[in-house]
Each structure stands twice: as structure tokens, then as C-alpha cells.
Amino acid sequence: MPEFKIMGNDIQHVLVRLGENEVVWGEGGHLIWKSSTVNLTARARGGILRSLERALTGASFFVLEVQGPGEADFAGFAPGRIVEINMDGTRGVLAEHRSFLVAESTVDYDAKLVGLGFGWLGGEGLLMARLRGRGRVFLHAIGDAISMELGPGESIDVEAGHVLAFEEGMKATIRRVGGLRTMLFGEEGIWLAHIEGPGRVWLRTLSRQQIIMGLMPELAQVVRST
């Protein structure tokens, strides 16, 4: 069985140790390094249809099949934390499409439309990655990661860009809070994702928009003006 080790503090990455012929798969753009003995193969995992669905989320059409023996290391595109989700096959997980790093070969990956405007108004696209099956999945959360378990009838409102993932079957809709003009949004009002339990939801403390505005304020001005 592949071994996963989350490493680092404020900037985390996940190291995968593979035995002979053991396989994991992930997004190629997140691979840092690998052992020379590890074999990489780009595949249209799940066939052409599922590959097209992944491409519609903004992810890669092909996924990277990583076969041992040896080690491979994966990380996100910005400082943040690694979130490990151990799936038991009972419920799928819907994740922000750029957050996926690597998963065991027993996990399936396609895409799903989540409520009109849910992802689009948060700047992340209408479709989310859908992960199903049994096995471990590793996501990257910009900033820090927050995990919350909601019971029946419980709900939270989250600024849409901070949603990392939630279990399939939870109700997710978008709500607008008007009258607030902020530097972060460049428009009147903010958009909140309303997520209802039961189920688990994972959040990130930084959105991509905040990263852009914090590191490149001049570029943020251009984005707000378009």
C-alpha cells in the first residue's frame, strides 16, 4: 500500500512512497520531484468523457499515473496546508478544482455542476471536481485549513472563495450580502456560499483573490476594473 507523509509547516507538501508496481495518480503540475525508478504515464483516467469533464473544471484532461518503486513529492501553487481525506466509499467529495494533488488509484475523479453561480461567483468556475470511491485523497488549502462537521439542520455561510471541499449530498447555494464595498471584491456586496448539513466541509483561510491582492496590488486594480 502506498505510504503518504505530509511534510513542512507553513508551506506543506506530501511525499508518496511506492512499492514495486504500486500506483497513485495526481495532477502533473503539482509534482515537485520523483525517484528515477518511478514511472510517469499521462492517462485519460475514466475514459474520454470523464477526462472532458475534468478539463471543463479547468483541471488537466490527462492525469498523471505514478508507478513505483520509489518516491514522488506533490505540492500546491501557493503557501498552504495539505488536507488528507480518507474516503470510505459511502459519500463522494466535491472539491475546488485546483486544490487536488494526489490520490490512491481506487479513487475516481470527474466533475459536477454545483448550483447556479456557486463556483462562478466565487471566482472558481461552475464545475467542481468530484472524488468518489475508497482511498486517501490529498488536497491543497491556500493559507490554513479548517474542517467542520455539520449535523442535520446545521448550516454555515462562507465567503465563496474560501470553500475548499464538502461532502456530496450537502446542499450548497449562493447568497449575496449587499451594501458592503471592500477592497477585496471591487463591487457592492459579497457572495456567501450557504452550506447545509449533515456532512463535513473543509475551508481555506485564504482565497486566490486575496493572494493576488496581497502580493500584486497593481494587478488587483486591473482585475477590479475589468
Evaluate if pTM is beyond 0.85: no
Domain count, the chain: 1
User: How would you write the pLDDT of the chain (226 residues) with one tens digit per residue?
Assistant: 999 999 998 889 999 999 999 999 998 889 999 999 999 998 765 544 454 554 555 555 468 899 999 999 999 988 899 999 999 999 999 998 789 999 999 999 877 766 545 544 444 445 678 899 999 999 999 999 999 999 999 999 998 889 999 999 999 887 777 655 554 555 545 778 899 999 999 999 987 777 766 666 655 565 555 5
CATH number of the domain within which 77 lies: 3.60.160.10
Domain housing 53: 3-225
Q: Is beta strand 107-113 parallel, antiparallel or unpaired with respect to 127-142?
A: antiparallel
CB contact set of 150 (below 8 Å; sequence gap of 6+): 156, 170, 195, 196, 197, 198, 199, 200, 201
